[in-house]
Amino acid sequence: MKGKQIKDLYGLQYDNQSYPLSVWYNRLIDKTINQISLRDVFSMISNDILPEVAIDKAIEFFVSNPFAGENYPGQILELFVKNSDMFFNSKSPQLTKMLQIIKTMDNMMAKSKEEWGYDYDFDENSCNEYLKLLEDAKHIINKKEQETNDYCRNFGGAK
């Protein structure tokens, strides 16, 4: 399954139109899941093409680099903040690791690329924007955890 092209995995057909989106789509479905790029992820989500696959890849990219983005650093974190339900519905085995990175990253760590060992270049404004996204993401995670705890307490289920 890993080496199969996306078109074969999902039974997709080529789009025979010559529009830029069609050209990109045809290239995408010729790729394997491992060949999906960060640019592909954002295009897939914005065009509602295999969003579950795109979210799983976004998680993978984030775990590799929490500052990853296609157009600017932190774009995946922003994607999480804007589409958290899609992330929480993911079956990615790396989701837990992504959430843990977000929960443990503090302001000093986010400001220090040496601390994390990732290459990014924030100016002060961009750094503040990232820290705001980080705060929003932590709030979303805490709220989701609280909802889960409340549900388990009210219905006697195990967490």
Q: Which pLDDT score, from 0 to 100, does residue 9 have?
A: 95
- 32: which DSSP letter? B
Which run of H or E residues covers position 148?
helix 124-155
Running along the chain, 159 residues long, what does each successive block of 10 average in pLDDT? Answer: 86 93 96 97 96 97 91 92 96 95 76 54 70 93 86 64
pTM for this predicted structure: 0.83
Q: Which pLDDT score, from 0 to 100, does residue 107 have?
A: 59
Q: Which pLDDT score, from 0 to 100, does residue 113 have?
A: 56
Q: Which pLDDT score, from 0 to 100, does residue 111 have?
A: 57
* Residues near 61 by beta carbon (within 8 Å), at least 6 away in sequence: 38, 41, 68, 76
- 2: which DSSP letter? T
109 exposure class (CB count in 10 Å sphere: 0-12, 13-18, 19+):
middle
